Amino acid sequence: MANLNVEGVDERVLSVLGYEHVGDQISEEVFQGNLELVTEKPGFVEALEAMRENQDTQAMYQFVISQGRTQIEALIAMSVSSGMLSKADVRSAAKISTARTPKERPWYKDVASVLMAAAHEAIQAAYLENRDAWREQYAEETVADDLEHFLKAVGKSTLGDRVDGYVHPDSGKECATSLFYRIDVNTPSRNGTKKAEKDTNGVTDEEAADAQA
């Protein structure tokens, strides 16, 4: 039997990776690589197990586990590229993260502050421009005097919606985009109505006290 440390490895994983055949049909190096693969991407265990249980794919299963993780990943990749499998389903099952958080550039906040200030001003102006029409349209409701009181009245700190009819600057095609706008008028630790601990949400005790005053 192989001289591998498999303490704590689930029996199901050992079985699907052919641990009993290590040193015979599967080399220790290949088994170790396969074990690392399914540890990183647990969904591959289910994929290999399904392949083993299907009579039509048993030969394929035996081949890929004897060849190693590169062949296993290549088989999945070919299945996706051929359209046999959904890329989204494979990513989900194999727990492959597609999220990439870009590194924040030093000047980002300076640019964002200017843009957000302009957006805030524009949204305030748009609210006032449409306020009277909304009061007529929703006569049974109390439409607030300004944007800040509107947000307080509805109890929301974030407004978001899909915007149709946006023309993409490169392709010239009409598409849709989503816009989200947030103001923390309903967040006590940020708007000064609740004493905040130092450095909590960017508000110090002194700042909170000043806001309350």
Could you report the per-residue pLDDT of 124-136, keeping only the tens digit for each?
Answer: 999 999 999 999 9
* pLDDT of 212 over the 50 cut: no
Question: Quick check: is 195 in a domain?
Answer: no
pLDDT score of 133: 95
Query: Distance between CA 146 and CA 199 in Å, rounded?
Result: 30
Question: Quick check: is 41 in a domain?
Answer: yes
Question: Quick check: is 86 in a domain?
Answer: yes
Model-level pTM? 0.39
Query: Distance between CA 91 and CA 8 in Å, rounded?
Result: 26
DSSP string, 32-55: HHHHHHHHH-THHHHHHHHHHHSG
Could you report the per-residue pLDDT of 152-185, keeping only the tens digit for each?
Answer: 777 656 677 777 888 888 888 888 777 777 666 6
Question: Quick check: is 208 in a domain?
Answer: no
DSSP string, 136-163: HHTTTS---SSHHHHHHHHT-SEEEEEE
Question: Quick check: is 130 in a domain?
Answer: no
Q: How confident is the model at residue 200 (pLDDT cuts 50, 70, 90)?
A: very low
Domain enclosing residue 34, as ranges: 11-93
Could you report the per-residue pLDDT of 81-99, keeping only the tens digit for each?
Answer: 665 555 565 566 555 555 5
Question: Quick check: is 191 in a domain?
Answer: no
Question: Quick check: is 154 in a domain?
Answer: no
Query: Distance between CA 82 and CA 103 in Å, rounded?
Result: 34
pLDDT score of 102: 59
